[in-house]
Amino acid sequence: MAEADAAEEIRAHIAEHYGFRAHSVLSLDQDVSLLRRDSGASWVARVFPAGRRAAVEGDAEILGWLAAQDYPAERCATEDPVSELADGRVVLVTEAVPFVPRAQRRSAIKDAGGIRGLGALMGRLHTLPQGQGACTRPGGAWHHMALGAPADELQAAREMLDEARSRASARDLASFDVLEDALDLADDCGGLPETLIHPDFVLANVVATPEPSMVLVDWSGAGRGPRLWSLAFFLLAEGAKDLRRVELALIGYGRHVELQPEELERLEAVIPARPLVLTIWGLRHHGIAAATAAQDAQDTRRLAFKIAELARSPSRD
């Protein structure tokens, strides 16, 4: 569907279902739209594949629980935030979080605590009291790949890699061997301490607000899962920019959570897991060359070693 047609479909659906009449619709990401109106709060509409209503209703339930805990997450826009389009696709509406202009985002995040503050926000999430209902469902998997726990995400990635390999040329088979070996080494955190986790706790899912503060969005697939899974990807995302950011994230996280020795021991094998999933997704859906994907996997493993060494270093100030 053309972007303009998709925007109009969402605008018409929200107007019919909720009486919310947007004067403009802006695409924020794939299947994520900002609906603006002249008066009152703007909304964000997230569209999910057909058949996922129960999962999306679980997302909404978790957002409601986070609101009750006064945790800085996006809020549902109405008491009945889940609906369906004519073709069965599922829509979740939340209130748009007020944000600073792009040019001010970096300074606003710094004023709100920066990477250290974001690490503390993750630590705070991982120490919230245990909720009920959807808060106890298996969570942590990247919702584009699978629903459920990290093990489900890695299994889906393996199936996707096998399918891609079946169509690969002979010259690419060695690269596929590298990717398969990397999947075998990836740790799904089974048996490690579990909490409510955000599946994609990275800066891209942080809204910097004028206060200043930071608000976490895109809770699709949240649920109870290994806290190390979420922390590992956050550390990788920041460490890929500058290893000093890993130190800051760990200092903030350490204000709330002290990792167990087994978590520190297994961190090196957990860190490459999500990046590997994203690489395999790119191989399948975006035409990334097998050799490039294999090189990415090897580079990530080297970076994972450095990050894990930092995490195992003596206590920080």
Q: What is the DSSP string of 71-138?
A: -SB--BSSSS-EEE-TTS-EEEEEEPPP---HHHHHHHHHHTTHHHHHHHHHHHHTTSPP--GGGGSB
User: Does residue 316 belong to any structural domain of this protein?
Assistant: no
Sign, CA torsion 232/234/240/246: negative
Q: Looking at the structure, tell me whether residues 133 and 79 fall in a common domain.
A: no
User: Does residue 317 belong to any structural domain of this protein?
Assistant: no
pLDDT score of 2: 64
Number of domains present in the structure of the chain = 2
pLDDT score of 301 more than 60: yes
Q: Looking at the structure, tell me whether residues 195 and 156 fall in a common domain.
A: yes
pLDDT score of 6: 87
User: Does residue 60 belong to any structural domain of this protein?
Assistant: yes
Choose one of 95, 120, 138: the last residue of a domain: 95
Peptide bond into 212 cis (omega under 30): yes
Read off the amino acid at residue 113.
G
pLDDT score of 273 more than 90: yes
User: Does residue 111 belong to any structural domain of this protein?
Assistant: yes
pLDDT score of 30 more than 90: no
Q: Looking at the structure, tell me whether residues 146 and 291 fall in a common domain.
A: yes
Choose one of 95, 120, 136: the last residue of a domain: 95
Q: Tell me, what CATH number does 243's domain have?
A: 3.90.1200.10
Which two structure tokens, joined as six digits, stand for 27?
A: 């695409």
**CB–CB of 246/307 below 8 Å?**
yes
Mean pLDDT of 64-68: 98
pLDDT score of 4: 78
Q: How far is CA 260 from CA 193, 201, 228, 254, in A?
A: 9, 20, 10, 12
Average pLDDT value for the chain: 96
pLDDT score of 100: 96
User: Does residue 256 belong to any structural domain of this protein?
Assistant: yes
What is the rounded CA–CA span in Å between residue 20 and residue 36?
Answer: 10
Choose one of 31, 62, 95: the last residue of a domain: 95
Sign, CA torsion 74/75/77/81: positive
Q: What whole-number percentage of the chain has pLDDT above 70?
A: 98
Quick one: pLDDT band at residue 1, thresholds 50, 70, 90?
low
Q: Looking at the structure, tell me whether residues 47 and 118 fall in a common domain.
A: no
Q: What whole-number percentage of the chain has pLDDT above 90?
A: 94
pLDDT score of 148: 97
Least confident of 29-33, 44-48, 64-68: 29-33
Whether this model's pTM surpasses 0.85: yes
Q: Looking at the structure, tell me whether residues 286 and 171 fall in a common domain.
A: yes
pLDDT score of 314: 74
Which two structure tokens, joined as six digits, stand for 84?
A: 């369906």
User: Does residue 151 belong to any structural domain of this protein?
Assistant: yes
Quick one: pLDDT band at residue 39, thresholds 50, 70, 90?
confident
Write out the residue range of the structural domain in which residue 89 sits: 3-95
